[in-house]
Each structure stands twice: as C-alpha cells, then as structure tokens.
Chains A and B, each alone.
Chain A
Amino acid sequence: MQFHDKIRVEKAKKRAVKQIETRKRVDLFRHLPQYEHGTRIPDLGSKFFLLDPVHPAVYKVGLRYLSGDISDGNARCIAMLQAFQESIKDYSPPEKTLARDLTAKINCYVSFFIECKPLSISMGNAIKFLKTRIAKLPLTMSESEAKATLLSDIDRFINEKIILADRLIVRHALTKIRDGDVLLTYGSSSSVEMILLHAHELGKQFRVLIVDSRPKLEGKLLLRRLLGKGLSCAYTLLNAVSFIMHEVTRVFLGASSILSNGTVYSRVGTACIAMVAHEFHVPVLVCCEAYKFHERVQLASICSNELGNPDTISKVPGRKEINYLDDWASNENLQLLNLIYDATPSDYVIMIITNYGMIGFRSPFEFTSWVG
C-alpha cells in the first residue's frame, strides 16, 4: 500500500482498526505507514463485539502482534497459522463455494493482521501457501473433508517448513562450530539459539558474544536463556562491535528473509555487524529456513521497511536520567526514526544455512524456485 497517496489512505481509514497517523513523519519514509502505537490497544478492545468478521482466535493473535508480544518471524508465522486453523474449524460455508468464500475470509483476516502490524515475509509466504491449498481443493470434496485436509496441510507446513527445517539447520550448522570458537550473534534469533544450545549439549567448547541494540534489546532475552543453560557469554552493544571483532572466529546471524538477489533482510543492525565482520575477515553465516525466501529484490533498506514506535527511542528503560526528549512531539523540526529491518548486501555474507543445505552467497535465487 502506498502511504504517500492521500486518496488511498482515506479509503483505508474506513477499516476496522482505527489508526492515528502521526503528523511527524520522516520524509524519507513517507511511503511506509507510521502510526502512533499506544492508543490502539484500548480502542481495539472496546470494538471486539462489533467486529463480526474477525474470528476471536485471529483477534487474539492480532492483539499479541500489536502489543509486541511476538516479534520473532517463526513465532509470528506459527501463531498466525494456528489462528487460521481455529477459524477454519469453526467455519461453515454459506451458499458460495467453500474455496472462494474461505479465501475471502482469509483475506479479511490478513488485512486485520496488517493493520495490527505489517506482515513479515515469513507470514506472507505462509498465506500464499494456504491460499494455494484452498484453491487446489477439489470441488467435489465435502465440507468436513475439505476442512480436515486444510487443517492437516497447515500442520504439515508448520512441521516440515519450520520445526523440522530448524532441526536440519542445526545439524548443518553444527559442522561449522569447532572447539575453541568464539561465536558472535546479534539480537535474538530462534535458529541461532537452537544451534548454540545443541552445540553446548554436544560438549563443544566455545564462547558466545551477544551483540545487542536499542530499542528492543532482544539480546538480553537470549543472554538470559543461554546463561540458564550454563553457557559462558559476553554481552555488549552494537557500538562496540569493532572493539570485540578481533577475537571473533564466526558470526551467526538470523534472518527475517533472504531475497532473490542474495540480500539478507533482517533486524536493523545486522548489516553493520556483517560489514564489520567482513572488514576483520570473519566468516558470516546466516541461518534461515527455506520458506522465508522471497523472490523480491531489494538494494537498500529504505524502499521497503517497517517503522516502529518512535517513543521507544526517546525513552531508555532503566535510565530515568535520559529524558531530554520527553516532549519531542511538540517540536516540528525533530523526528524520531525507529527502523525495524535492514538489508545486508550479499557481499558481506559467506554462507547461508538452510534446511536444504548450505549455500554460498551467489546462488540463493536458485533456491527460491524450490520454495512452495
């Protein structure tokens, strides 16, 4: 959706979820939606009983996205698919054929999700898969059979493409970890966490360096989980990455998606890590399930991104003395920019580890044809 086009924005405003567009938009990102976050949750809560088309399971998941409860790509995808499963179970088709009506309903749910939080690429691919499965249902199938097929399809998708895929990734990646390694990771990626825990269970001797960044500070959660399992970790902020890079032997990064030209689309700051690692000749390995691959191409981080809540930048949790920007909204010259994603050029990445195998950076586009 093109948010710089006023007419379309007006049309979209008639939707269920009322958004309040903030007037303080960064010029460079006018084509992306920028909303004020805090007001939506109570608003949505009050509207629950008015929103007939949205199934309660879908509504619940939408709220969780809105509040930032789930931010990991895999988790969002699984939550969405399970919500769809619930809604399919309770679904009964009217006179129209099941396929068309169900597709319309799914579209409706998807636009609800989009308004809560822009879709991640993993979710987009899963929705495409579901719609293809619905379209392929034979017309002669009875309603209960069709529903059962769809439910088992979704289960299979979750199992094969996410859970088993993760196990394969871990198995491939374990071959890349040797004793005495110093592994650097950024933020909190579910695949990388699994790799580290498995390697530790196997008894490999290595150290972990967790690099974290504002405003989400997801690395702290990973740190806590790894400490709980007894790994010895070091923790630092993104600024100090060139300070610590000289002792790192491998960098493991997660990704939200791998694009067709080899660009890694992931949490903002990943590009900085990959660039500094490249400078210090440290191999960068990106772990990404194959279902997250996308045929889009992207050069810079500006064209397609997500803007987060700018208030989280002005405040620093735990440091009350950092309150210089408490009234930032009143000043028209000041804008706060909270990017969620960035695009890492393929030159900085040595290898991509997927469930189909390990790919040197030149050929990810060959693998997008394997997806779906």
Chain B
Amino acid sequence: MPGVEELVNDFFAKLENCKVEGSHATARSTAELLRSVISQQRVPSNIQAEALIEAVKVVGEKLTAANPVELAVGNVVRRVLHIIREEDLLLVTSDLGGLNLSVGSDDKDAAEMDNNHVAAAAASRNLLHRPSLHTLLGNMHNSACQNSFDADKNLRSRKLKHNIIEAVNELIEEIDTCREQIAEQAVEHIHQNEVILTLGRSRTVLEFLTAAKQKKRSFRVFVAEGAPRYQGHVLAKELVQRGVQSTLVTDSAVFAMISQVNMVIVGAHAVMANGGVIAPVGLRMVALAARNYAVPFVVVAGIHKLCPLYPHNPEILLNDMRSPSELAEFGEFSNGMDYGIGSGAPLIHVINPAFDYVPPELVSLFITDIGGHGPSYMYRLIADYYSTDDLV
C-alpha cells in the first residue's frame, strides 16, 4: 500500500517537526490517517479484527514516537482500536444471537462448522472483556454455540470494515464539533456581570465565551498574556472583535486580580486519567491562586484530549522544553553560556518549559463535549472510550 505508507511518513515528519499546531488539528489528522489505513488494509477473513488492530497499532506506535508530548495522537489511535474491538464484538454477538443479516443474501457455506467453532471461541473471548456502555445496552445473547448462524465470511468482513469506517467518521465528526458542543453549555455557567480570567489562548475558550456573548450574557474577561508565547495577545484581540470587553494583564498580575474574578476558564493540552491537566505553563500558579480565593477553576476540553494514562512525573516526562532564546537572547549572555571557560559548565541555565501539570485537586470542573464532570469522574469516561488492552 504505497499510498498509505506515504501518508504515514508524511504525517510522521509533520509531527516530528511540530508542524501540526494544537491537539485538535493533530487528533483530526490522525483520525483521517487511520481511516485511510483501515480502508486500504487487506484483511484475511477469519481474523479481520486482529489484523486491523495490528495494522493500526504499528502505525500508532510510529506516530506516538514522533512526538511523545502530543498525547492526542495516542488518544485517537486508542480510540480507533477500541472502535475496532467494539464493532467486532457487536458483529459477533449479533451473529450468535441469530439475528437476520438483512444486508445481502445469506449463503450457507460448506465450512460452516469451522466457522461455528471459530466464532464461538471469539464470542466467548469477547464476552470476558470488560463491558462498555455499547455492549451493555446492545443485544447480548449467551446461547452461543448451539445456534446456527449465517457465516458468509466476505459479507461479515465487508460489514466489519464498513462499520469501523463509519465509526471512525463519527469520531472525526465528534472531534470537529466538540467545540460547538462545549460552547452550548456556556450559558449554564456564565450569567450576568461575571468577571472571567483566562491565560494564553485556547480556541475552545474563545468559542465558549463567544457563545455566552451571543446569548446576551454580560461579562468581562481578564486575559493573562501567557509569556513567553504571548498567545494571550491574540485571544484578547479575538475577543474584542466579538464585542467582549477584555483587559490584557501580565501573568504577574494574576494574584492581584484573582480576588476580583468570579471564575477561571482555561483550555488544556491534555487531560490525564486521574483528572490532572497538562496545560500551558503558568496555569498551575493560576490554579493555586484560584484555590486560595475559592474561585472555580474550570477546564474546557474536548473528549479527544482525554488520555487513558496516569501521569508519572508529568513535569518532566510530559513536558516540552523550549528554546531559551524566547527568554534571553544569545547575544546578551553569550559569555555565560560558554562551555569553554572556568569549570567547563556554563554559568547560566535558561529554563523554558512549555507545559504545566495541574493536579486534579485544583480543578473544579471539566466541561467536555459530553457534559460537565468533576475531576474524580474522568477515569470512568476512559472505560467508555478506550479498551484495557490498548493501554500499554
């Protein structure tokens, strides 16, 4: 499949060079890429699901290695794997239940007996998996082996792929519309004469606030500039273009302003399984200040940002150390950065992390596209969207 290989390598290069900006775009591109991989993958008919899973895993491992900090890639890969397993399970159980496959004709095969055994084994294996909402609410028929079922292999394999592609399309649509869904909840949280604080720039927050403004809620926004990327400047400009009254402050003024603020609303780079948040640098400071003044700290994030991993030493392992030139020019301090003088070690270290880890006890609420949740609930959502087999 030269076409798919090319696409994968292309995307790999983009990830390595950080050409894809933001977890939203990354998630979308990953999903589309995996869709191509699945549709072009030729699968042997008796172990289709496993073959697809293998193919997706190979691609997924390659992509996550390109940029380990971009957790959205891993999230989407695991979502797709979960979709494959789910669709497979659904098909098998519906076969076992003796449901009529209304699509196409049902040819009885000579090798029906073999299929029987293979399918029964597969079904019993699948039944031992942890139930997800899908399977709990779907039809589950336990009288496996005795029922005869229609086993047109080609039909089933085509149907599996077809279902999977459809589900991946739904995933892509979910990623696309997550900001709208989040923005719809804005009116529940923003009423009148509110003062909101945010830091840096999150497009989700922008749409959230815009939606509230459109529903004629009155509020003011303090935007902290978010050094050293200064994305807060961009957000302030966008907000005033939509008629929201905003004040740009420096990050140092956050503690001074927090007593006047009703709510802190921020976006996230990723949400971890324990409810912790990987967010732009400076947000842990804001969260601490908010807790000290009992100001709610609300994180808006699409569900594609939910990562099923628990964070271990996230400040180091899930962080991106950026170039010191954003803080100090090389020309200014070149004598301090010289390895050749004195003891051989440079006198000056410039520290420029890109992300901060906000522990779950500092977060009041997560607003996702499927509603609002507390940080202690996030691990439950993982069961709905990811399979335990894929967590390694």
Contacts and interface: CB of A to CB of B under 8 A. Distances in A.
Nearest to A269: B252
A342 B285 CA distance: 16
A300 to B, nearest CB: 5
Q: Which of A237, A238, A331 has the most CB of B within 10 A?
A: A237
A114 interface: no
Interface string B333-359: 101100000100101111111001000
Interface residues of A, number: 57
Given A214-B250, A231-B347, A276-B285, A333 B230 contact: no
A272 B257 CA distance: 11
A337 B351 contact: no
Contacts of B315: 243, 246
B252 to A, nearest CB: 3
B227 A271 contact: no
A185 B152 CA distance: 73
Given A227-B347, A275-B289, A334-B240, A243 B332 contact: no
Judged by DSSP, the binding face of B is mixed
Interface in A206-232: 212-215, 220, 223-224, 227, 230-232
B333 A236 contact: no
Interface range, B side: 35 or more
B336 A227 contact: yes
A275 to B, nearest CB: 6
A108 B319 CA distance: 56
B327 A239 contact: no
Interface in B226-278: 226-228, 230, 233-234, 236-237, 239-240, 243-257, 259-260
B282 interface: yes
A372 B226 CA distance: 43
Contacts of B333: 223-224, 227
Contacts of B256: 268, 271, 300-302, 305, 339, 342-343
A73 B257 CA distance: 24
Nearest to A231: B347
A331 B234 CA distance: 14
B228 A237 contact: yes
A331 B240 contact: yes
Contacts of A28: 260
Given A227-B347, A244-B351, A239 B253 contact: no
Nearest to A301: B256
A366 to B, nearest CB: 27
B351 A316 contact: no
A242 B288 contact: yes
B225 A334 contact: no
A341 B145 CA distance: 77
A235 B336 CA distance: 12
B28 interface: no
A244 B349 CA distance: 12
A214 B351 contact: no
Judged by DSSP, the binding face of A is mixed
B212 to A, nearest CB: 15
Given A233-B347, A234-B349, A275-B288, A26 B282 contact: no
Given A234-B350, A235-B350, A271-B256, A26 B284 contact: no
B331 to A, nearest CB: 10
Given A275-B289, A300-B256, A301-B256, A240 B281 contact: yes
B252 A336 contact: no
A304 to B, nearest CB: 12
Given A227-B347, A322-B230, A339 B249 contact: yes
Contacts of B228: 237, 239
B327 A235 contact: yes
A275 B250 contact: no
A158 B234 CA distance: 47
A238 B288 contact: no
A40 B57 CA distance: 66
B292 interface: yes
A268 B252 CA distance: 6
A333 B356 contact: no
Given A314-B233, A316-B230, A334-B237, A239 B351 contact: no
Interface of A: 26, 28, 212-215, 220, 223-224, 227, 230-244, 246, 267-269, 271-272, 275-276, 279, 300-302, 305, 313-314, 316, 318-319, 322, 324-325, 328, 331, 333-339, 342-343
Task: For the complex of A and B, list the 5 residue pairs with the smallest distance between their C-beta atoms, beginning with the closest.
Answer: A269-B252, A239-B282, A301-B256, A271-B255, A333-B240
7 contacts: A235-B348, A239-B281, A276-B288, A316-B230, A324-B236, A333-B244, A336-B248
Given A215-B250, A220-B328, A232-B348, 14 more contacts: A213-B250, A214-B250, A223-B328, A233-B349, A238-B282, A239-B281, A268-B256, A269-B253, A319-B326, A328-B248, A333-B243, A333-B246, A334-B236, A342-B253
